Amino acid sequence: MRARVLIAAIVPTLVLGILLTALLTFSRLGDLEEALNQRGHAIARQLAASAEYGLFSGNREVLQRLTESALGTSDLYGVAIHDRDGSLMASAGLQQHAGQPLPQGDQSIEGGGQLLRIAEPVKLSQSLEQDPYTLTGNVSVRERPLGEVVVLISRETLDSRKLNQIGTASITLLLVLGGSIGLAFVMSSSVSRPIQRIAEAMAAIGRGELASRVPVEGRGLLRQLAEGINDMAARLTVAHSSQEQRISAATVQLRERTEEAERANHAKSRFLAAASHDLRQPMHALGLFIADLSRKEHSPDTRQLIERIAASAEAMENLLDSLLDISKLDAGVVSSTPRPFALGPILERIGNDYDHAARERGLRLRVRPTLLWVHSDPLLLERILINLVSNALRYTRRGAIMVTARKRGENVLIEVRDSGVGIAPEEQSNIFLEFVQLENPARDRSRGLGLGLAIVRRLADLLYHPLTLRSQPGRGSVFGIMTPIAPAETGPALKPLTEQDFLGRVVTVIDDDVLAQESLVGLLRAWGCFVVASDSLPGLLEALEELEVEPEVIISDYRLPGEYTGLEIIANLRQRFGAELPALLLSGDTGPDTLREATARHVPLLHKPVRPAKLRAAMTHLLQSQIKVSTDA
C-alpha cells in the first residue's frame, strides 16, 4: 500500500515537472538563439550601411579599415565585403566562411558548427541614386545591390548559455522531484502506518493474542476502523474467556463420564470373561455330546429331536463365536501370517462343506476350480470366504451361488456371486456394520445375527485386501476380495486326510471339567482315535507310561487345577516326546492375553464351544503339517 501511495504521488508530479521544465527550457533556448540572430543581423546591417559609399566608389582601403574595425565587436570572428559581381573587396578575421559569395537576394543566414554566418546586401541609398554619374548604360542602379557584407559570429557563448540553462532546469527538476518524493513519503506514512498497525494487530488477534490493540490516532475513517477493531478484540476476549470456561467445564464432565464408562467397560469385561468361561464349558460339552449322539442309530422321532437340539446348540455357538471374533478383531489381538498357498483346495473345501446346505434350500452352489496361488493368511482368507458364502445362502431364495477366482494383473479377484434379493445403493455401506440385517426386521435367528459381513470387513482390513461390492435390488450381489498373486510352488501335494486316517491315532486330552472331558473323549473315539485322558500332567504321564504309548496329538484345556496351565503342560510334553509334537489348546477365556501367549508359543487356540467340524479341521491341519515336516526332513 505504501508503494502504491508513493507511485500515485510521485508519477504525476514527475511527469508534470518534466513536461514544464522541458517546455520552459526549450522556450528559453529559442529566445537565446533568436537574440544571437538579431544581434548578427544588426551588426551586418550596420556594416552594410557603412560600406555603401566604399563599394559605390570602389575604395578598397576604406572597406578594409571598416572590416578591421568591426572585429573589435564581441563574438565576431570574421567580416567580408563583396561587390555586386561577388569579388572580395575587403576582409578581416576567418575567411574560409566569410569569403564565400552569396547568391542574389536580400539576406542569408547559415548556421553550422560553432559559427553563425549572416549575409546582408548593400543597397544603394536615395542620395547616391540621384547622381547622374552612377548610371551605366541603360540599367537602373536599383535592379541589383552594390554588394554584400558577410559576418561570422561565434556560437560558443550561445552554447555556454544553453548548457547553463539546461543545468539550471535539471537542478530545478531534481529539487522539485526531491520535494515531491519527500511529500509523498510523508503522505504515504500517514496512510500506510495506521493500516500496517491495524494489519499487525489483526494478525496477532488471529494467532490468539486477544490482548493486542491498535493505537487510535489520526481522524476520519482510519480512526473509526482502529476503534472498531479494538472493540472487536475486547468482545472476542470476553467471548474467548467464556468459551474457555465452558470447555473446561465440559472437559471435566466428559472426563468424569469417560472414567465412568471405562469403569463400566472394565466391569463388563470382567463379567464377560467370567461368564464366558462358565458358559463355554457346558456349551462345549453339549456340542460334543450332540455330535457323538448323532452318530448313533435312532428312531426317526428321536433323530428329529436330536437335530432340533443340535440346531439350537449351533445357534448359540454361532452367537458366541461371532461375538468372540468381533471382540478379538476390535481388541487387535488377531494377527495375520501371510504366506503363499494354493487357492484351489480352500475353494474346493468350501464347496464340499456348503453343498448340502445349498441343496436343502433348493439352490445350486458352483465352485470353479483354480490353479492360482495367492499370498495371504489361509485361515483368515478362508473365514472371509465362508462368511460370504453363508451370507449368500441366507439371502438367496432361488437360483445359484457361484465362487470364482480370476487373475487381475498382479492380483487375484475372488468373487462370491448370488441371485438373491440384492442391496440398494444407499444401503451398501451399512451392511458391513454390526447387527445390520436389511431383510430381517423380525430378527429371525435362521437368517443370521448380522455379524458376518462386519467380520469380513475387519478381516479384509487386517489383511490389507480390498473388498468390493456390486449389487442391484432383485438382481443379486457380487462380493469380491482382491489378494496378491503368488508364484505356484512345485512339489508333491499332500493328500487330504479322511476319517480312516484318524484310526489308531494316539490323542491325549487334558481337561478338568468332567463333562467337557467325557464329551471330547467320546467324539475322538467315535472318529477311531486312541484317547488317553486326564485332568493333570502327573495323571497323564502315569497313564501314558502304564499304556506304554506316546502321544501323536495333544488337546489341552488352558485353565487347569494346580500349578500348570495348558500351555505349560504342552511345553513339558514336547520336551519329553519331541518339539514338533502337534498340540491344540482349548479355552473358554476370550481375553487377549491367552491368545497372545498361545501365539507366542506357536500353539493353535480354539475357543469353546468347539464345533466338531472345526476340531476335525484343526486336527487335520496339525497332522498334515507334521506329515509335511517329516517329508521335508
- Whether 605 shows a pLDDT value over 70: the answer reads yes
State the pTM of this model: 0.44
Query: Grid cell 491315532 — which residue?
Result: 505
> Are the C-beta atoms of residues 317 and 609 closer than 8 Å to each other?
yes
| pLDDT, averaged across the chain | 78
Condensed to tens digits (0 to 9), the pLDDT of residues 381-432 reads 988 999 899 888 888 888 999 999 999 999 999 999 999 888 888 777 777 7
The pLDDT score that the predictor gives to residue 484 is: 95
Q: Is the dihedral of CA 378, 382, 383, 384 positive or negative?
A: positive
List CB contacts of 625: < 8 A, sequence separation 6 or more.
582
Q: For the segment 255-293, what is each residue's pLDDT rounded down to a tens digit?
A: 888 888 777 766 655 555 555 556 666 766 777 777 777
Contacts 24+ apart (CB under 8 A), 180-183: 180/9, 180/10, 180/13, 180/14, 180/17, 181/6, 181/10, 183/9
What sign does the dihedral 40-43-46-51 (CA atoms) show? negative
Calpha distance 632→626 (Å, rounded): 10
pLDDT single digits (tens) 192-242:
677 777 777 777 777 777 777 777 766 667 677 777 878 887 888 888 788
What is the Cα–Cα distance from 331 to 312, expressed in whole angstroms?
Answer: 29
3-state secondary structure 387-404: HHHHHHHHCCCCCEEEEE
Question: Which residue segments constitute the domains of the chain, with CATH numbers given?
Answer: 249-296+495-633 (3.40.50.2300), 336-486 (3.30.565.10)
11: pLDDT strictly greater than 70: yes
Please name the residue that has the C-alpha cell 506329515. Answer: 627
